[in-house]
Structure 1
Amino acid sequence: MTTRYDVVIVGGGHNGLVAANYLARAGKSVCVLEARHVVGGACVSEELVPGATWSSCSFIQGMLRQEVIDDLELARFGLRSLSPEVQGVALWEDGDHFMLHHDVDETLKSIGRHSPDDARRFFEFGSKLKRFADISRDWLLSDPPTRSEVFGRFERLGETELLNEFMVVSAQDLLDRYFVSPRLKAYMTFLAMVSTWGGPQTPTTAHVYGYHAFGQFENVFGRWGIPVGGMGSITAALRKGAEAFGAVVRTSAPVAEILVRGGRAAGVRLVGGDVVNADIVMSNAAPTVALGRLVPAGAMKEEWRREALRTDVRGSMARIHVLLDTLPHYNGFEPGLGPQHLGHTILNASAENYEAAAEAQRRGRFPDDFVIEGLIHSATDPSVCKPGQHTLLLGVQQLPFHLEKGDWDDHKEAWTDRVMETFYRFAPNLRGHVIGRNTVSPLDLERTYGLPGGNIFQRSIVGLENLFSERKAPGGDGYRTAVEGLYLCGSGAHPGGGVTGAPGHNAARRVLADMSGDRGPVRRHTELSKSLMDRVLETGVGKDLGYQVAQSKLLRGVTRLFAKSK
C-alpha cells in the first residue's frame, strides 16, 4: 500500500505528536508512524504489573511547556493533572528529613529545622535559579542559539557569574557556593545526575541541575504535577488533538527505511512493505537510529553517518515499578498516609554514594549502595490501582549500559533485589507486602523504548558540545539534517530531553517556515531587563526583606506572584 502526505513523522513519542499537532493545525496533511502498539515513547502509561497503571519511564509533569499545553488545548483533549502540596522529600536512614512544599514559607521552615544555616541560603539560591530560568527561557522554544549568543545575552545583562554557576561548573562546585549542610547538597545533587555519565564533580553538571530544576507547572516556577492516569495521558491528549485536526496516527507501524530520492527525503518504507510518500520527513527517533540506520547508505557523506553513530549516548538509569498492599512506613514518620507519601522522594543521598556510583559506572559495575528516587503516584491519583493498593515507582541514576560481565538481562532481577533491600532500610514494614514488580533496565530503555544506551535524552546533555547549536545532526543545521527535507524533532535535538514538547514545537515551526520559503532563524526573543524585584534582591537590604516576605504565611500572595514564570 502506498499513501502520500505533506509530512510523515517517524515515531509517536510526545515530541513527534507535538510536531504533528502544530503541522495539522497549520493545514498540513500529516502521518505519524509509531513502532509500538501504543503512542507515547518514554511518555507512556502501561499495565506493567497486572491490575495497575504505571508511568513506565518519565513520571512527573514538570517540564512540559505551558505554551504547548495552551496552544494545543490539551485540557480540551482530556489532560488533567494534579500537583501535590508536598513537592519534594529528602529522607535518610536515621529518620532525618526535610520537605519542599508548594508554599515557600513551609519549605524554608522545613529546611531550617534540618539546617538552620541553609534556609536563607535556599531562598537566595532559588532567586538566582529563577533569574537564570527567566534569561534562558526564550531559547527553549526557538531554533537553537549559538554558544556565543547564549553567553552574549548573559553578558549584556551583567549576569556572567550566573552563567558560570548554572551552566559551566560542576554540580558540586555550584552547591558548595551556596549551602552548608552536606545532606541538603546531596539531596539537590540528584537532579544533576539524571542520565549523566559521571558524578557531582563532572563539569557542566550544574547545567543538568538547572535544566531540570527550572521547570514549571501551570506557569509556576519550580513546581510539578502528576497527570491523572499517568504520563500517557499527555500523549493520549496529544494524539486526540492531532487527529481532531486531520492527522493520521498509526501504531504497530515500524519504519524500515527513510526514502531518499534525488538527494532529498521523500517518505518512508515500513517493515511490512508499505510506503508513505511525503514532501517532508521528520524523525522523532534518536539521531543514531535515524541517521545511522534508517537513512540509506550513500544518501549523505559517510563521515556524517559515522559521526551520527558515534553520538554520545552515555548516561543511563533504570525504573522499578512496585505494586504494594500497604503504604511505606518511613523511618522518622508516623504510620498512615501523610505528606511524606506525596512528594518526589530522594533516599540515601550522599556525596560518597554519588562518587561511588560514578566510579562503578565507569567500570561497568554496580555500586555497593544506591541513591534512590521514589514516587507513590496512587497517593495523589488513586485511579491507577485498586483500593487498598499503591503504586510505588523507584529510580536509580548513574548506571552503566555496558556491564563488565554479561548484560542487563543477566543481572536485572538480582540488581532489583539489591535496590529493594536498600529501600527496605527506609521502610522496613514493606517486606512481605509487595504484590508484584517490574523493572525497566537500561537495556529495556533501548530495546523497548528506542533510547540508545538507555539515555532518556537520546544523547548526552553533559558538556557544552551537546548543547544549543551544537546539538544538531552531523552536517545539519538546527533541526535540519544533511539530507534535504529530513528533520529531527526528538529529544536528541535542541534543547534536549525531558517531557518538554520543545523539540517538537521548534522543529514544526522550522518546517513550516522552510515550506513557506523562509530559511531564516525562527526565534522567540523577549527584551529582558532586571525587574524591580531582581534589583531589590541584589542588595543586602533587599535580600533581608525578600527573605522575611518568603518566610511569612500572611504574605504568601507576594511570594506566589514572584514565582510566576515571566
Structure 2
Amino acid sequence: MTRVVIIGAGHNGLVSAAYLARAGLDVTVLEARDTLGGACVTEEIMPGFRASTCAFVLGLVRPEIISDLRLRAHGLELYSSPDALAFTTEESGRHFFMWKEPDRTIREIRKRFGERDADAFVEFGVHMQRLGAVLRPMMLQPPPRLSTFVREFEQRGSMDLFGRFITGSVTDLLDHYFESDLLKGFLAFSGVVSVHGAPSTPGTAYVLAHHSVGEFEGHFGKWGFARGGVGALTAAIADAARSSGAVLRTSARVDHVTIRGGRARGVVLESGEEIPADVVLSNADPKRSLLKLVDRAHLPDETVRGIEEYDVRGSQCRVLVAVDRLPEYVGLPGGPGPQHNGHAFLGPRLDRYEQAFERARKGLLPTDPVVELTIDSVRDPALVPAGRHMIVTGVQQLPFELSGRTWDDARQDLTDLVLKRLFDHAPNLEGAVLGTHTITPLDLEREYGLTGGNIYHGAMTLDQLLTGRPAHGLGDYRTPIEGLYLCGSGTHPGGGVMGASGYNAAMAVLTAQGMPTPRPWGQEHAARLLRRRGLEDALHAAYASPRIRKAMNTAARQPWLRGLTKLATRRPGGRR
C-alpha cells in the first residue's frame, strides 16, 4: 500500500487526506499546532469565548467536496444570515445593507444611491456570473495555460471582461459600474485581501473577481457560516478522513523532508522521529515548503529563484473583542438587528485603502483603517457565555515588517487603533470591552505558519495564477523532487476556504499512481469543461440588448419575481 505523509492539517491538507485515504492509500497527516484546521479553525481565545480566529466566512467551499466527502453526515451544518448578508456603514451613520434577497438589495441601492447604481448592480452581477462561468470549471481541474484562458474569453466574446476583471485595477473596475463611493468601498474590500497594493494597483481586480466562483446553497452571490465556527468545517473533513483510515497527528512539527536519490522518502519531525513515505504532500505555503522543509541543494536553481521571487506580501490582522453588549451603530436604533447578522464593513472608502497602502509601503500602521467584522455569537450563541458577544474584526493592507519596531512592540497600538474605529461607529462599546485578543501579521507567520502573514499563501495576481502558481514549472502540484507535491493555497486555484487545491493535489497523486479519480480530471477534461456554455452565458447575451437589459433591471427589483431571480442566480448542479 502506498504510504502518504501530508504536512499540515489546514483545510486543503485535510481534503487531500480524505480523498487519498478514501482511495485506499495509507495516509498520515502531521500538524505542528495542537489543533487541526490551520487558519480555518475555531479556538477558545479566553475562558468560555470561542471564535473563528482567522477565516470566518464561507462562500468559496466547493460543493462537490462537501458532497463527495459527505461532510454533512460528519457533522457539518452550514447556514446563512437570516436577513442581511452584509452591512456597510460610515461614522456619520450613512449605511446600506446587502440582503439575502437580490431584489431587496437592488431596491435599497436605488433608494440610497439612485437608479443608475441600482441598474449597475444588476449589470455587475450579470458580469460576475459570466466571469464565474469561465472560472468555475477550472477550480477542480489542473490549471489551464494562460493562452487557453485568454482564448476562452475571446471565443465567448468577453475580452472586455478580461481587461476589466482580470488585468485591471479594482478602482477602474468599480468606476466603470458605480457612482456611490460607499458602494464602491464595500465592494473594494475583497479586492485588497492578501495583496501588497491598493485598489488603484493594476491586477487587483482579479482578487475581487476570484469571488465570482463562490456560491452558497447552490446560488451565486451568497455566503454563509458554519455552526460552531469555521473550525466545524475542518472538523468534518478530518472526521471524513479518519473514517477512511487516515491518521491525524497534532503537535507533530516537521523539521524537513527526507530526500534520497532525487525522491521524497518521508519526513523527520523536530523531535527526531522519522516517518517514511512513498509520497509527501505539503500543505504549507510554497516558500516554507520548498525553502525551509527541503534542502535547496535538491532543487534546480530556477525553482529556487522562482520561489524566492514568489510574492507573499499582503498581510492582515485579526482583533477579537469580547463585549457585554452588541454595538449600537450611529444612525441605527439600539437592540439586535440585521446589522449584527452578516459581514460588516466600517468606513470603507477608496481613499482609505490608498492611504493604508502608502503607509504599509513605509512599514507604518494605517491611521484610519477600513475594518471588517462579524459577530458569530449573534447567530451561534453557544460560542460564548450567555449575555456576551465576540466581535471578530479584520484589517487588510498591513506591512509584515514595521519600521523601527516589531509587531510584538506594536500589538497594543494595533489593538487600540481597531478599538477606536469600533467606538467611532458604535460609541456604546466604550466601557463594554471585556477583553481582546490580537493576531498580528507576525502571529500569522509564527503561530499559523503563513509566511509573510499572507492568508492566501501568496498574492492572487495574474503572474501568480494558473500554471504560474506558485511559479512557472510548478503549476501541476508536483515539484522537481519525485514524490513531493504541494497541496496548499499557494497552488491553483488559490486562496480562500475552497478546498480545491487540496482536491487537485490529491487527484494529481492518484493520477500518478494510475488510480481512478472520483470524476474525470486532467487537461483534456478541463478543456471540455471550459467549452461548455450555460445559463450565465445566456443571461450575458440577453443583457447585451438594451431593451432586454431594461426589462431585466426592472424585473430584478420586483419581490413577486423573486423565484425568477433565484433561477437566474442558480449555479449549475447547485443544491436546492
User: Which bin holds the TM-score, normalised by the shorter protein?
Assistant: over 0.9
1:208-357 equivalent positions in 2, closer than 5 A: 208-357=207-356
Secondary structure in structure 1 of the residue aligned to 2:267: strand
* Displacement of 1:289: 0.9
Which of 108-117 and 356-365 deviates more?
108-117
Match of 1:136 in 2: 135
Q: What is the aligned-residue identity percentage?
A: 43
Match of 2:104 in 1: 106
Secondary structure of 1:298's counterpart equals: helix
For 2:3, what is the secondary structure of its paired residue?
Answer: strand
Amino acid corresponding to residue 558 of structure 2 in structure 1: S
Q: Rate the CA distance shift 1:543–1:475 in 2: closer, same or farther, 3 A.
A: closer
Give the Å deviation of 1:475.
4.7
Match of 1:547 among 553, 558, 568: 553
Q: How many Å apart are 1:139 and its aligned residue?
A: 0.8
Write the letter of the residue equivalent to 2:221: G
- Where in structure 2 are the equivalents of 1:18-417 lying within 5 Å? 18-84=15-81, 85-116=83-114, 117-417=116-416
Task: Deviation per CA, 1:142-182: give whole Å up to 9, x if none.
Answer: 11111111101111111111111111100000001111112
| Contact 2:265 2:279 survives alignment (8 Å) | yes
In the alignment, the residues of structure 1 paired with residue 505 and residue 208 of structure 2 have an alpha-carbon distance, to the nearest angstrom, of 25
Determine the C-alpha separation between the residues in 1 that align with 2:100 and 2:473.
45
Deviation at 1:80, TM superposition (A): 0.5
Contact 1:179 1:185 in 2 (8 A): yes
CA drift of 1:278 comes to 1.2
Distance 2:128 2:268 in 1: 46
Contact 1:134 1:565 in 2 (8 A): no
Aligned pair in 2 of structure 1 residues 517, 330: CA closer, same or farther (>3 Å)? closer
Moved over 4 A (4+): 517-520
Contact 2:475 2:492 in 1 (8 A): no
In the alignment, the residues of structure 1 paired with residue 570 and residue 139 of structure 2 have an alpha-carbon distance, to the nearest angstrom, of: 17
Query: Is 1:10 aligned to 2:7, yes or no?
Result: yes
Alignment-derived partner of residue 562 in structure 1? 568
Q: 1:501: Cα distance to partner? A: 0.2
Q: Secondary structure at the match of 1:320?
A: strand
Q: Which runs of 5+ in 1 are unaligned?
A: none
Deviation, 1:534, is 3.2
Alignment partners' CA distance in 2, 1:366 and 1:243: 43
Instruction: State the partner residue of 2:497.
Output: 499
Q: Bigger CA drift: 109-118 or 227-236?
A: 109-118
Letter in 1 for 2:80: S
- 8 Å contact kept, 1:509–1:522: no
Q: Secondary structure at the match of 2:458?
A: coil
Q: Which residue does 2:474 correspond to in 1? A: 476
Q: TM-score, normalised by structure 2?
A: 0.95
For the residues of structure 2 that align with 1:320 and 1:520, how far apart are their CA atoms?
A: 42
How big is the shift at 1:14? Answer: 0.3
Letter in structure 1 aligned against 2:20: L
Partner Cα separation in structure 2 for residue 108 and residue 521 of structure 1: 40
Deviation at 1:302, TM superposition (A): 4.1
How many Å separate the matches in 1 of 2:224 and 2:525?
28
Q: Secondary structure at the match of 1:555?
A: helix
For residues 509 and 194 of structure 2, the distance between their equivalents in structure 1, rounded to whole angstroms, comes to 29
Distance 1:273 1:474 in 2: 34
Report the TM-score, using the length of structure 1 for normalisation.
Answer: 0.97
Distance in structure 2 (CA, Å) of the matches to 1:412 and 1:444: 10
Alpha-carbon separation, structure 2, partners of 1:559 and 1:126: 12
Shift of the 408–155 alpha-carbon distance from structure 1 to 2, 3 Å rule, reads: same
**Cα distance, 1:264–1:391 mapped onto 2, change above 3 Å:** same
Report deviation, 1:529.
2.6
Per the alignment, do residues 110 and 502 of structure 1 end up closer, same or farther by CA in structure 2, a change over 3 Å counting?
same
2 CA distance for matches of 1:225 and 1:164?
Answer: 30
User: How many angstroms does 1:416 deviate by?
Assistant: 0.9
Moved more, 110-119 or 333-342: 110-119
Q: Which amino acid aligns with 1:559?
A: T
Q: Within 1, Cα distance between the matches of 2:475 and 2:460?
A: 18
> Structure 2: where are the runs of 5+ without partners?
none
Q: 1:95 to 1:481 in 2, by over 3 A?
A: same
User: Are the structure 2 counterparts of residues 369 and 537 from structure 1 closer, same or farther at C-alpha, using a change threshold of 3 Å?
Assistant: same
**Are the counterparts in 2 of residues 46 and 53 from structure 1 also a CA contact under 8 Å?**
yes
